[in-house]
Structures are given as structure tokens and as C-alpha cells.
Structure 1
Amino acid sequence: MHRSRDFMLTLALLWFAGVALRATILALPPVLPAVSSELGLSAADIGVLAGLPSLLFAVASLPAATLIPRIGPVPTLVLGLLVNAIGAAARGFAQGTVALEAATALMCLGVAVMQPVLPALVRAWAPRRIGFATAVYTNGLLVGEVIPIVWIPGSELPLVGGGWRAALAVWALPVLATALGFVLSGRHLALPSTPPRGRLNWRDGRVWRAGLLLGGVNASYFGLNGFLPGWFSATGWPELVQPALIALNIAQLPASFLMLVLADRLVRRPMAYGIGSAVYVAGVVGLIVVPGPLAVAAAAVAGFANAALLTLALAVPSVLADGEEVPRLSAAMFSIGYGFAVGMALLAGRLWDASGMAVLAVLPFALTSALTGLLGLTLRPHVFTRRF
């Protein structure tokens, strides 16, 4: 009974930590027009705000992972949550563009500290249920992406003037509550720190395979979100931009709930990556060849498949690496993965600009998902049993 209670507490903490990975970041897009109007943001300023999360995740993940063996996974996660919350709250008080960008960078740094910790906690707290526990915090992550879009608070924090300021600052509260939950539960879920042992072996091909596998998932998600508006506008269906974006993102939730049931069985099966990739590619092809409203359904197919692939990809470090090596492999995956996603987005934009063909801004993300599938197929069972 005691073990069951502790396991449920573990899952609850992992889920709320997953929400904290994205809720503060995704709080900005719905209120961006109001922020831009008040602070006079330029297109370049908006680009900086949009690019900061991926940039910080790529640059800061590896340095952040060095904290884990020194102070322990739980203290590192709590530190990341606190930095995330402080940055999120500070955005509500920003009086200019530089202050807003600095607060956003601080918030994203907190998330970058958090990300490598969660696979380590999954490995330590649920070694026999790695797929399921990963699916739990991935579900929280996806819920954290959707909630700020469908619920925009406006008056919960009158101290910062309501409106967009409250809508941004209020998300610091659940992040702080999650940090408090980990602190209060620490004595029951203690995970001692371990001394660092050597450095990450960048010549190990599994590091690059795992990183590019996650990179394919990230590029496919962020790229399609970024270029869908341009695609529908260029093909004469601007009124479908909002429905397509909603379909792409909402469709992730049923996939995430399905993975709660299937992840334990699929995470060690290479074919699962191939099937998920094939479904995503089919969705992108549908976007390109099927006109009008049916393309919205194709966007939903792509979103559904990408959410399943994300769950599988995030489980790889916990399955592939041993103990203290999990955070380092996770950090390497995030660094490679987000760097790859940024590079692919820039490439897709350049291809569109150079050719004038909108299809070249969408098609590359079918290829990035195909890369995920191909790399997943190389994760044969013996790869999971060899020491990292």
C-alpha cells in the first residue's frame, strides 16, 4: 500500500513537472498581439522571443546537466522550477522589450535545467515502467502546451495590472507549487547525488542517433507549427490557418493518453518509431495534395503521430543509459535535437524564399520525421542492453 501511494505521488509530480516544461513558454503566443501593441515589438523582437526557447534548450542543456551529479536530481529540478517561475513572473512586470526578452531567457534557462532531470527521475523512480512514466510527464508537457491556448487568464493578478501581464505572470504559480511539491515530498522520494564519472563520449554513435532522433521529432513539430500559416495562405485558404493549428496541437492529446497504455510495450520496439514516422509523413503528404478543409484533418494526423513519437523519443535516455549517465545522454539529446530543429526551420525558410514555392517550406518536415523513423529502426534490442 505504501509503495503504491509513493508510486502515485511520483507520477503526480512527474506530470506537474511536465506541465511546467511548456505552460510558461506557450503562455505568450495567445497574448502576443497585446504585448506587441503595448511595448511596440518589432518583427525582429518577436523573432527573438520565438527563438529563445529552442536556443536556450540547445545551448544550456549540457551545462545544466552537470548540476545533477553534484547536487542531486531533485534539487536540480527544484532549482530549474524556481528559475522558470521567477522568469515567468518577471515577464508580467516587464516595462520594455529588453526586460521582456531577459525575463523570457531566464524562464527558458529554468526549463533547460529541468529537461535532463526528468529522464533520470524516470529511470530511478520507475525502472520497470519507463515507458509509462515517460508517457505521464509527456502528457503533462502536452497539456501544458494546450492549456495556455484555450485559457487566457486576465485578472488573476491585479498587482501587475491585469491583461497580458497577468496572463503571463499567473503561470508562475503552478510552477512554484510544483517546486513546493517536490520539496515536501523529497524525504519520501529521495534520490542521492552520484559523483561525476568521466565525460560524455561524443564519438559514441548512439549519442548522435538519439539526438537526431529527438531532433527529427522537434523539427517536425515546431516546423509545421511555424509554416502552416504560410502554407494555407499561399494555397488560398487563409481562413483555415487557425483550425489547422488547433487540429495539429489538440490531436496530440489523444495520442498522449493512448501512449499511457502502450508506451511500456512500444518503447523497446524499433518498428514503433517507423510506424509513427510513416503516419506523420502521410499527414504532411495529405496537407500538400488534399485541398481545403480535408487538409485540416491531415494536420491532425501529423499532430497525433508526432505526439506518439515524442513520448518514445523522450524515453530513450532512460532505457539506453545507466544511472548517472541518463542526464548526460538526455542533455546531449536536447542540445543536438533543438539545434537540429532550429537549423531545419532556417533551412525551410531559405528554401521557400529562394524558390518561391511554399511546398518547400512544409516538405522538409516530412523528411525530418522520416529521419526519426529510420533512426528508431536502428535501436535494436541489443542496443538497449549495451552499456552507454
Structure 2
Amino acid sequence: MRRRSQSFPIFTLAILWLVGWTLRVPVLATPPLATRIAESYGLEAMGIGALTMLPVVAIAFGAIPATLLIGRFGLKAAIIFGVLLMAVASTARGYAPSSLMLFAVSVLMGFGVALFQTALPAATRVWTPGHIALGNAVYLNGMMVGEVSGAGLTLPLVLPLAGEDWRMALFLWSVPILLISLAVTFVRTPKDTNTAPKAGVKDLASTASLPNWNDTRVWQFGLLLAGSVVLFFVINSYFGVILDARGEREALAWLLLLYNATPLMASFVVLASPGWIGRRRPIAASAGLAVIGLALFTFLSGWASWLGALLTGFAASVELILLVSLPAVIAKGRAVTQLTAGMTLIGYGIAFPLPMIGGWFAEHLGWLEISLIPSLVFGVAVLILAGERRFPTYIWAR
């Protein structure tokens, strides 16, 4: 007789959700505090952009070494250490003696994120072997709520609790994250876990080799991913300073909340439309709408620009979800990991310099909105890839 499946893993799913929640909180708590941090360290527009984008590039380049560490020390240790490192480095940003050290600990925070972000997909296979899809959906939902929390609750809730001290605000955000890392220690691997998930974790280290750069999919999907990431983050990076320059600072708190709620709305839309995954048109449409929204935010002001920003947040998030879902659909076996690693490296790697270039132009030309132009131009350029005819179905599957 077939053995009964294990009981529903409510506690483990709750931990996965909480760990997913921590993925974006420290990163997206920075934009609401950007003007205050800039005043404390004397940062110009380029430096403000770096506050948000440096952790992003650390996530990109930290993914492959993170896989090696997971293979050496195990999933649970990697997740606990990654969450702890992220929390400690996030708090340390408030007490860095110089802007150089501020940027250094921001990179360290990003590496912590890369470490446990890389471990989470494998953790769902090992910790919830009978509910793998649900486990992935749970931590992804936690991540989306974390984006809303970090960006939307920092100004109206956390900063007042911190006595309007941005340094204390970063510390307060770290307290629940430290508690979550402690909670991870209580997760137990099910005794009836079959050998397939275990083998998958052991193979993680061996698949940590460099992606296959001769695979055209790595470049096409990596560049598309870069477009979605950079369009979302460039608005987050410069939202505060642009609204302040336009005399619209009073709208910043609620706009950040709405803007960073768009990924959560996007996740529900994609969940309701599973047929979009692996198709060209939904990705092309969302990429085009994201570009239109950024153009509206760049060249207009008031409510029209705000709607443009929200359109970009939603459309870029839909595009990102669809792209992240691609490797498991169009590749098989080891190629899934290699394609994911290559896409992540290219996507998040390119997402870093573009806002920095825009910030440099803004400093030297005196037009703050030009900080968005390089990202806008790149977004237009990658639309050509979204329209590539070979993209629409699964013909690239191997």
C-alpha cells in the first residue's frame, strides 16, 4: 500500500513566507530614506542611486559563489547566515563613518541577500517535498509583501517610531529580520523526503559552474530581465529626489506605498493567467507598457507622471515574473540552473550601471530627470528582443 504523504507543513510554509519577506525589505527601505541619508553623507544624485543599486549588483555577482557556499555548508546554514549578514549589514549602513564604508556595507548586504535568495528554491524542494509549487508561491508572495513593507511603511510607520532618525529606522527594520533568522533554526527536514530533492541539493554545487555563454537564450532573456529590473529600480532610486525637486514631496509616502504594491498585484495577475508563461506577447506587452510608463514619469509632472510610475511598476513586475518563470519551462535538467544563473548575472549586472550613469548626467547637466534617460533608452532597445519571432513558444527547449 502507498505510504501516506506527510502532514501539511504549515510551520515550514510560514517560515518560507517570512524568509521571502526579508528578501527586499532592507533594499527597498532605502529609497524613502534616500534624501536623509544623502544629507548625512553629502551625496549627490549619483550617490543616491548607488544606495539602492549597489545591493542589486551584489545580488547579481553573488549568486554563483552563493551556490558554492550552499553546497559546502547546506541550505539551512546558508539561509540563516545570509539573513543574519543582510540584517547586520543593513544596520551598519546607519553607522558607517564615511560614504565609502556606506557603499561597502551596502554591497555586503546585497551578498547576504544573494546567499539565501539562491538557497530558497532548493529549500522548497527539501523542506516541503510534497508541496514544492506551493512552497515557491509562498516565499514569492512573502517577497512581494516585503517590497510593499520596506518601501511603503518606512516613512509613515517605522521612521516615526524611530524618532525621525533614519539610522534608528534601519535598526528597527533589522529586529524582525534577526528574529526570522532564529526561527529558521527550528525548521526540520521531513523524514520521508525522497532522494530526488536531496540529490538536487547535492548537485547544486556541481551546477555552479559558469553559465553557457554560447547559449543565445542566456543573452536574450538576460537582457530582457535587465530591462524589467532597471525600469523598476530606477524609479525607486530617484523617486524621492525627483518629487522633491518638482515640489511634490507630500505625495512621496503614499506613492512609494502604491508603487511597491504593484509587484504584489502583478503576481496575482500572472497567477490568474498561467498561460502567459513561456509566451512572447505577454512579455513584449508588459515591456512596452513599462517603457511608456517611465516616459510619462520622466517628461510629465503631477498625477500624469504618478500614473506613469505606477504603470511602470506593475508592467515591469509582470515582465520580471514571466521571465523568472522561463528557465523551468524552456530548459531541462542542469540547463535550468545554468540559464537562471546567466540571466540573473546579466539582468541584475546591467541594472546597476544604468541608474548610475543617469545620476552622473544629472549632476553635470543640472536636469534631475535625465537620471532616468539611460534606463529609458535601454528599455526601448530591449523591446526589439521582446519582438523576436523565435521567442513565442517552447521551441528553444532542450
TM-score (normalizing by structure 2): 0.76
Which of 316, 331, 338 is equivalent to 1:306? 316
Consecutive unaligned residues of structure 1, counting only runs of 5 or more, are none
1:34-73 equivalences under 5 Å are 40-43=40-43, 46=48, 49-73=51-75
Give the superposition deviation at 1:156: 7.6
Q: Are 1:194 and 2:199 an aligned pair?
A: no
1:28-107 equivalences under 5 Å are 28-32=30-34, 40-43=40-43, 46=48, 49-91=51-93, 94=96, 100-107=102-109
Rounded to whole Å, the distance in 1 between the matches of 2:92 and 2:368 is: 38
Q: Partner of 2:227 in structure 1?
A: 216
Q: Deviations over 1:164-183 (max 9, x none)?
A: 34321233333333334443
Consecutive unaligned residues of structure 2, counting only runs of 5 or more, are none
Distance 1:52 1:352, change over 3 A: closer
Distance 1:217 1:129, change over 3 A: farther
Which of 345, 355, 377 is equivalent to 2:355? 345
Distance 1:46 1:286, change over 3 A: closer
Q: Are 1:143 and 2:145 an aligned pair?
A: yes
Distance 1:316 1:71, change over 3 A: farther
Letter in 2 for 1:257: F
Distance 1:317 1:183, change over 3 A: farther
Does the 8 A contact of 1:21 with 1:115 survive in 2?
yes
Does the 8 A contact of 1:231 with 1:362 survive in 2?
no
| RMSD of aligned Cα (Å) | 4.0
Give the superposition deviation at 1:371: 5.5
Distance 1:17 1:261, change over 3 A: farther
Q: Deviations over 1:43-92 (max 9, x none)?
A: 16656534421332233222222223444444433331222133234446
1:327-366 equivalences under 5 Å are 327-349=337-359, 361-362=371-372, 364-366=374-376
Q: Partner of 1:273 in structure 2?
A: 283
Q: Are 1:297 and 2:307 an aligned pair?
A: yes
Give the superposition deviation at 1:217: 0.9
Distance 1:172 1:323, change over 3 A: farther
Does the 8 A contact of 2:62 with 2:111 survive in 1?
yes
Q: Partner of 2:265 in structure 1?
A: 254
Q: Deviations over 1:213-268 (max 9, x none)?
A: 2211111112233355666677x664576265554333333223333433x43222
Distance 1:318 1:279, change over 3 A: same
Does the 8 A contact of 1:280 with 1:366 survive in 2?
no
Q: Partner of 2:326 in structure 1?
A: 316
Q: Pick which of 204-213 and 175-184 moved more.
A: 175-184
Q: Are 1:22 and 2:32 an aligned pair?
A: no
Q: Count how many residue pairs are aligned between Structure 1 and Structure 2.
A: 377
Identity level (%): 29
User: Residue 382 of structure 1 aligns to a residue in which SS?
Assistant: coil
Rounded to whole Å, the distance in 2 between the matches of 1:331 and 1:154 is: 36
Q: Deviations over 1:277-296 (max 9, x none)?
A: 23223323444676532222
Q: Pick which of 55-64 and 316-325 moved more.
A: 316-325
Distance 1:323 1:115, change over 3 A: farther
Give the superposition deviation at 1:342: 1.9
User: Residue 43 of structure 1 aligns to a residue in which SS?
Assistant: coil
Letter in 2 for 1:153: V
Give the superposition deviation at 1:348: 3.7
Does the 8 A contact of 2:63 with 2:341 survive in 1?
yes
Q: Are 1:153 and 2:158 an aligned pair?
A: yes
Distance 1:366 1:14, change over 3 A: farther
Does the 8 A contact of 2:27 with 2:52 survive in 1?
no
Q: Are 1:179 and 2:172 an aligned pair?
A: no
Rounded to whole Å, the distance in 2 between the matches of 1:127 and 1:334 is: 28
Rounded to whole Å, the distance in 2 between the matches of 1:362 and 1:101 is: 21
Letter in 2 for 1:174: P
Q: Pick which of 100-109 and 148-157 moved more.
A: 148-157
Rounded to whole Å, the distance in 1 between the matches of 2:317 and 2:242 is: 22
TM-score (normalizing by structure 1): 0.77
Distance 1:320 1:62, change over 3 A: farther
User: Residue 57 of structure 1 aligns to a residue in which SS?
Assistant: helix
Q: Deviations over 1:133-164 (max 9, x none)?
A: 6554343223222223424436989xxx9943
Distance 1:138 1:364, change over 3 A: farther
Does the 8 A contact of 1:255 with 1:308 survive in 2?
yes
Does the 8 A contact of 1:136 with 1:260 survive in 2?
no
Does the 8 A contact of 1:276 with 1:305 survive in 2?
yes
Q: Partner of 2:8 in structure 1?
A: 5
